[in-house]
Amino acid sequence: MNSSTLQPTEYASYYSPYINALGNVNLIEELENSIHNFEDFLTQIPSEKHEFRYAEGKWTIKDIVQHLIDTERVLAYRSLRFARKDQTPLHSFDENEYVDATVANKRMLTDLLQEYIAVRLSTLYLFKSFSNEELIYTGIASNNSFTVRAIGFIIAGHQKHHQRIIAERYL
């Protein structure tokens, strides 16, 4: 399943930049390859940059990794609910409040990276378990309709987006 098969009606327009950043990729391959790519990228960052903020009020690299972990967990949960035909509308979450409530900057980046890898592997196995039929099931989150497969591409594109931000603004 490639991102080129997604229709704009399968996700909220807010997520278009994440999906567009992927280009034409296979979902499972992208989720799998991005684990190693992100790990290689993060391990090259000097330790003095781990808690760097490029401007007042901006997140640190550790905050961003924690944000990726939290967001991926939320989105994977949504995809599971939708794949199981749960039609309960799901609320949004405020990523800024989530980051403010963490202690990411008291943790080692290597520990955050290991947690990220564990979460991504879980997401990868979850998406590998979905049938083609389940991937096109829909649900409502944040007052928007999403397909299961669109959420997978959003997860992959979200990580790629933040990796690009780190490279451009933090290094």
Confidence at residue 64, expressed as pLDDT on a 0 to 100 scale: 97
Confidence at residue 1, expressed as pLDDT on a 0 to 100 scale: 79
Give DSSP secondary structure letters for 36-66: HHHHHHHHTS-GGGTT--SSTTPPPHHHHHH
DSSP code of 142?
T
pLDDT of 121-141, one tens digit each? 999 999 999 999 999 999 999
Instruction: Tell how strand 138-141 and strand 144-147 pair up.
Output: antiparallel
Class of domain 15-169: mainly alpha
Confidence at residue 2, expressed as pLDDT on a 0 to 100 scale: 81
Q: Where are the domains of the chain?
A: 15-169
State how far the Cα of 67 lies from the Cα of 96, in Å rounded to an integer.
9
